[in-house]
Structure formats: C-alpha cells, structure tokens
C-alpha cells in the first residue's frame, strides 16, 4: 500500500494551478474553465461506469483514478477547497446513509 492520499493529490493540483498551461496538464485543464473541467469529469465518470458494467477491474481501477483526479481538478476550478468536501464527509460520518439522505429532502 502507498502512503499517498487524496490530500496529497489535492495539494499537487493546487500547486499545479499556479503553473503554466504549457508545462502542466492540470494547469491546461484549469485554464479551460469550470465548465470544461465539469465535462471532463463527466467523461471520466462514464468511462468508469462502462468499466464497471463490463466487469473489467483493471479498467475500473484506472478510470476510478481518472475520476478522482478530475473531481479534484473540478473542485479547484470552482474554488471549492478539498478540505470543505472532507469536512462534509466528516459531518456525515457515523450516520446511516438512509438517515443522511432523508435529512437532505427529496431530490
């Protein structure tokens, strides 16, 4: 197992946001704006779903890494700190998923 965690990835993305788009894929994504980053996140999410439906664990692993990366890029593009997401997950921790969902009302 690696000691790498999502906080490391979020910090790297935040750092790369200050790089030149010519030298950083992350910076080039961010330069395209939040809508582009959202579409890229959606594209990667669909690829993960396809891998899951096809029962391909290697592809699902790879696509899941892409989904997580592109979600963190999207958060950066929208100015949502990763720690805000972690705080929200912490707030939900220890609650039944059914109870938590009901507390948010109808979707």
Residue pair 30/76 in contact (Cβ under 8 Å)? The answer is: yes
- Element holding 61 (H helix, E strand): helix 57-78
**What's this model's pTM, rounded to 2 decimal places?**
0.86
Question: pLDDT for 1-26, tens place per residue?
Answer: 567 899 999 999 999 999 999 999 99
Residue pair 13/26 in contact (Cβ under 8 Å)? The answer is: yes
pLDDT tier, 106 (very low <50, low <70, confident <90, very high otherwise): low
Roughly how many angstroms between the first and final C-alpha of the chain, as a whole number? 38
């Amino acid at each position: 197992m690696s000691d790498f965690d999502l906080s490391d990835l979020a910090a790297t993305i935040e750092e790369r946001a200050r790089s030149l788009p010519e030298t950083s894929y992350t910076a080039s994504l961010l330069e395209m704006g939040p809508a582009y980053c959202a579409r890229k996140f959606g594209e990667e999410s669909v690829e993960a779903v396809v891998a899951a439906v096809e029962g391909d664990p290697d592809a699902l692993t790879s696509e899941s890494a892409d989904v997580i990366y592109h979600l963190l890029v999207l958060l950066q593009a929208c100015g949502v700190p990763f720690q805000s997401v972690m705080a929200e997950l912490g707030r939900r921790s220890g609650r039944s998923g059914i109870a938590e969902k009901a507390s948010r009302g109808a979707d």
